[in-house]
Amino acid sequence: MKILLVDDHAVVRQGYAALLRALLPEAQVVEACDGEEALAKVQEEIPSLVIMDVGLPGISGLETTRRLIQRLPQLRVLFFSMHDELPLVRQALDAGAAGYITKSSSPQVLVDAVRRTLAGYAYIEQPLATQLARNPTATDAHDPRLQGMTQREFEIFVMLAKGTPSRVIAERLCISGKTVSNYLTLLKSKLQVSSQAELVHLAIDTGVLRVGERAAG
């Protein structure tokens, strides 16, 4: 079994790679730091499974997954992300992912998810699966008000709505603070809101953000 682990934070990536090697001794784990490297490594390594982060610099994890599945329709992709917003889970599944778990999951959940997805099953972390079952349409990422956004715009929209400081967004996505400000201006125009507070209300109204979920930092 060969696993490609894609995460832009070296310490995090190497830590999870070591964990996977310890818990799955039969697995060979290779690493990629962004979407471009992931696309190249898949061609070189032909992994059985790709474990993908959402928030990658450059090509997002969602777009990388779309491109991978287009090239290799049988490839299994498991999202492993800090984000637990249902619209992002839906977008990951729409992109062709076989599963989605969060980084707050226990190591055993990660191992179970790897084994289940490799066995050909879909795997959604239980709390997320429960929310999806209870809200089949209320958190639809395809709400007409959210149409027209790119994957990167949607990712920044989610972080802004959660109250993530611009400097933190810039650090996570490897972009400048000015670029984040430009995205905020663009999002206000696209979403027809006049302030970040209205942007938050829209995120709650469309189910992107749950009440009381603000603050990230």
Residues 65 and 6 in one domain: yes
Across the chain, mean pLDDT equals 86
Residues 92 and 127 in one domain: yes
> Looking at residue 135, what is its pLDDT?
64
Domain for residue 210, yes or no? no
In this structure, of 22-26, 76-80, 172-176, the range with the lowest mean pLDDT score is 172-176
3-state DSSP call for residue 78? strand
Residues 9 and 114 in one domain: yes
Q: Which residues of 114-143 are buried (b: 16+ CB within 10 A; e: fewer)?
A: bebbbeeeebbbeebeebbeeeeeebbbeb
Q: What is the mean pLDDT of residues 89-115?
A: 91
pTM: 0.71
Helix 196-205 to helix 151-161 angle, to the nearest 10 degrees? Answer: 100
Percentage of the chain beyond pLDDT 70 is 91
CATH number for 94: 3.40.50.2300
Per the DSSP assignment, residues forming a β-bridge with 4 are 30, 50
Residues 198 and 104 in one domain: no
Residues 32 and 82 in one domain: yes
Domain for residue 33, yes or no? yes
Residue linked to tokens 């190591």: 107
Question: What is d(CA 51, CA 198) in angstroms, rounded to the nearest whole number?
Answer: 35
In this structure, of 60-74, 77-91, 147-161, the range with the lowest mean pLDDT score is 147-161
Tens-place pLDDT, residues 120-175:
999 999 888 887 776 655 444 556 777 777 778 888 888 888 888 888 888 878 78
CATH number for 190: 1.10.10.10
Residue linked to tokens 């984040």: 180
Instruction: State which of 81, 116, 134 marks the end of a domain.
Output: 134
Domain for residue 27, yes or no? yes
Residue 8, φ and ψ in degrees, nearest 5: -85, -10
Mark residue 69 as left, alpha or beta (left: phi above 0; alpha: psi -120 to 50; beta: remaining): alpha
Tens-place pLDDT, residues 32-48:
999 999 999 999 999 99
In this structure, of 14-23, 141-150, 192-201, the range with the lowest mean pLDDT score is 141-150
Q: What is the mean pLDDT of residues 103-122?
A: 92
Domain for residue 91, yes or no? yes
Residues 124 and 160 in one domain: no
Please state the three-class secondary structure of 81-134 as a single string: ECCCCHHHHHHHHHCCCCEEEECCCCHHHHHHHHHHHHCCCCEECHHHHHHHHH
Print the domain residue range for 199: 144-205
Domain count, the chain: 2
